[in-house]
Structure 1
Amino acid sequence: MIPQEIIRRKRDGDELDAAEISSFIAALAAGQLSEGQIGAFAMAVWFKGMSRTETVALTLAMADSGDRLQWADVDRPIADKHSTGGVGDNVSLMLAPIAAACGLAVPMISGRGLGHTGGTLDKLESIPGYMITPDADLFHKVVKEAGCAIIGQTGTLAPADGRLYAVRDVTATVDSIPLITASILSKKLAAGLETLVLDVKVGNGAFMADRGQAEILAQSLVEVANGAGVKTSALITDMNQPLADCAGNAVEMRNCLDFLAGRKADTRLETVVLAFAAEMLVKSGIAASSDEAEGMARRALSSGKAAEVFARMVSMLGGPADLIENPDRYLARAPVAKPVPAARSGWLAACDTRGIGVSVIDLGGGRRHPADRIDHRVGFSELLPLGTRVNAGEPIALVHAADDAAAERAVAALAAHYRITEEKPELTPVIAGLI
């Protein structure tokens, strides 16, 4: 294999065959390519694109660059869900135990915050003792015995993706549909999944603000995943406002516990969680229809079974066994809490969702640099949904901050992120489509 010939062919718009792609990715994983060669390949793909056949080959090659998890001794369908990222998006925390309580095995490999979006791993790290990188044997044991485990990517799982992404990040090639597709799906294939459901966000708080681009990405992910042998579908969901009524780490973990206890019913968040649970159960053959599947998910919540699964997962991964019963003992609270008053009377008509995510980072709840330490206590809670009628001075949210100065800045910033109108707004549905 001559790397520069493969780069040249892709630069010229030729279609690469599976052997060429496989050999290039194997060399990348083995450290045999320079950063210049990797960057040139990524840029050639960015400009010339890839066919579905090429993208499947790239995804499989990246999945095969490290270990592949095996679940032969687990007598449940192996399923997972992936989100393209949003603000107040803590769906995974509740979805995994609900799906497990309904009979699925969910080996969920999640990530940290990226840009303005929150990360599932950062939220879990607000739980004292929780191990986000257990060894392979413990991960397997938790999935088998508890039904689900939410952890971070190990260095042996799709390692080619890690090196390729690092180069893409500094060469302006992150936003390539084939490269995004292969990056997301290679880790999921390496996890040994049988079925996968994707949450492709669209709106001013999503990486894909345009509906058309979100559909193109969703179509690519679904076609490539199915082409690689994993039964996959995607829901396109709205991210023009935070999904939950909070944004942060410990505050979203509290939201998760409230949801599992039945205190977050009839919300946009519940609609999304139950829709994904139903899609996972139908895709995996556990339920015959979406109505049957949603009923199963609701019973898993109302019976407390989903909460029991979550508690067992947390305990087996090193967290406190009584987290659900005693959250205040373990989830730290910020020392300062200040309400955000509505600037005027009217209807909450729109918000800058990305700006809200950035404001969490400004509070210390996210990273400006990879080495930054997160303050898990800070963030926003009690965010009122769009379409709510408010009076001037009425709280539209609560800021959780490390000190008074940070709280005052966050109050001003959050108030500025919302638009209040005299007319009641027409809101877009939280689930925009299914692919």
Structure 2
Amino acid sequence: MDARAVIEAVRDGRPTAEGMRWFAAGLASGAVTDAQAGAFAMAVLLKGLPEDCRVALTRAMRDSGDVLRWDLPGPVVDKHSTGGVGDSISLLLAPALACCGAYVPMVSGRGLGHTGGTLDKLEAIPGYMVDVSEVRLRALMHESRCAIVSASSRIAPADKRLYAVRDVTSTVESIDLITASILSKKLAAGLEALVLDVKVGSGAFLPSADQARGLAQSLVSTANGAGCKTSALITDMDRPLALTAGNALEVGEVMDTLTGINPTARLVELTCALGGEVLVLAGLARNAEAGARMIRGALDSGEAAERFGQMVALQGGPRDFVTRYAEHLPKAPVIRPVPGVGVLAGWNTRAVGEAVVHLGGGRLKGDDVVDPRVGFSEIAEPGDTLSPDRPLAMVHAADEAGAEAAIAALQAAARFGAAPVAAPLVQEHVA
């Protein structure tokens, strides 16, 4: 078997699981060239893969590098989101799950396009280290039962090769390749259960309901086929998930929620819904409702906040972060209101995320340095009546020029008119 034969088979609609395994190994070893990887990606985009081939590709990409094996007294679980604006759920969910009997070695990513990245948020905490060795990650599982870290270069190297090629060959949109990319990295963490948060709406990577449903079904069937108990929720991203967008600002909102000082209802609702799902999959709750109550109990009792503080300290952050987070988080020098008048009918959520990126809160180029201070707070919710006393949001910027540009961008992202009918946060369940 060689790369040309595999590409021809996919192109002609007759791929095989054996071919997928060979190609993934060739990506990792270098036997497959970049040109061949690009041709393969385009063939998959145009022709698609049957489920057995998608599972085989995912497993082989997972197995192209290190795969963690655990011997812990509880189930190893995780959550993955397809990305959004104001989505800081991982920071709430990981410690809450750890309080409910699970172990959570959460391998996360950085911001991509208009969507924020969990690692960028955590690096707004002074001293927090996302790069840890496997030995240290194993120690963290015993010490705090949860950790949020970056993937090492030894995790799914076949995916790294293919992802880089997809980015420059207009093949990023392939559902089969998105599925294999997401799951190869997640399953390399040795998970027993996984819950997926697939976004739908103007701020989602795939905005239409049909696209979101197709991705959710592909992810769930492939993960289960690869041996990891998995379900998905399709959730609303037609508006920012929370009231802040920007790294340090979102961490502050998480801490307001964990400590009970000023909890954000949508963050709590989605954390409980996703947590309930994964606790059922892991055998720690009899049904999703019971699992959601367990997560809510960990949040309301303050136990999840304590666990989060323990995780932060063990990964290099301040030991008093939970009690003094407002002092530790960096603050932008320019804070101004974003004017708006009338009833807010809705948001172009992607444009909100892009405004944060252009403020410096994300990357326009791969080597850009993220400014953790910038973003938006007090983001208005659809149905709010705006006035000089109730602006669209507060912009946090590095300088006056950045603030002016962000004000214009956010105003352009807002829609005004009649009060909208509120869409449910959780829209579908896929199992």
Partner of 1:2: 2
Q: Deviations over 1:262-296 (max 9, x none)?
A: 24546222211110111111111111122222221
Q: CA RMSD in A?
A: 1.2
Q: Deviations over 1:88-132 (max 9, x none)?
A: 001111110011111110111100000000000110111111111
SS in 1 for 2:235: strand
Task: Name stretches of at least 5 consecutive residues in structure 2 with no aligned partner.
Answer: none
Percent of pairs identical after alignment?
A: 53
1:430 pairs with 2:428: no
Tell me how far apart the structure 1 counterparts of residues 326 and 293 of structure 2 sit (CA, whole Å): 31
In the superposition, the TM-score normalised over structure 2's length comes to 0.98
> Mapping of 1:372-391 within 5 angstroms?
372-391=368-387
Tell me how far apart the structure 1 counterparts of residues 197 and 326 of structure 2 sit (CA, whole Å): 31
Partner of 1:403: 399
Letter in 2 for 1:40: A
Q: Deviations over 1:369-418 (max 9, x none)?
A: 00001111000001121122333563221100011121122122212211
Partner of 1:32: 31
Q: Deviations over 1:47-80 (max 9, x none)?
A: 11000000000000000000011111x1111110
Partner of 1:22: 21
Q: CA deviation at 1:84?
A: 0.3
> Mapping of 1:5-404 within 5 angstroms?
5-16=5-16, 18-72=17-71, 74-265=72-263, 267-342=265-340, 344-345=341-342, 347-391=343-387, 394-404=390-400
Q: Deviations over 1:276-330 (max 9, x none)?
A: 1111111111111222222211211122110111111111111111111111332
Deviates more, 1:223-232 or 1:323-332: 323-332
CA contact (8 A) 2:176 2:218 kept: yes
SS in 1 for 2:396: strand
Deviates more, 1:191-200 or 1:136-145: 136-145
Q: CA deviation at 1:153?
A: 0.9
Deviates more, 1:291-300 or 1:201-210: 291-300
Tell me how far apart the structure 1 counterparts of residues 69 and 374 of structure 2 sit (CA, whole Å): 39
Q: How many residues align?
A: 430
Tell me how far apart the structure 2 counterparts of residues 255 and 328 of structure 1 sit (CA, whole Å): 10
Q: Deviations over 1:150-174 (max 9, x none)?
A: 0111100111101110000000111
Deviates more, 1:259-268 or 1:374-383: 259-268
Provide runs of 4+ in structure 1 moved above 4 Å: none
SS in 2 for 1:235: strand
Tell me how far apart the structure 2 counterparts of residues 391 and 338 of structure 1 sit (CA, whole Å): 15
CA contact (8 A) 1:264 1:270 kept: no
SS in 2 for 1:405: helix
In the superposition, the TM-score normalised over structure 1's length comes to 0.97
Letter in 1 for 2:424: P
SS in 2 for 1:398: strand
CA contact (8 A) 2:86 2:242 kept: yes
Tell me how far apart the structure 2 counterparts of residues 193 and 299 of structure 1 sit (CA, whole Å): 24
CA contact (8 A) 1:272 1:430 kept: yes
Deviates more, 1:204-213 or 1:327-336: 327-336
Letter in 1 for 2:236: D
Tell me how far apart the structure 1 counterparts of residues 148 and 398 of structure 2 sit (CA, whole Å): 28
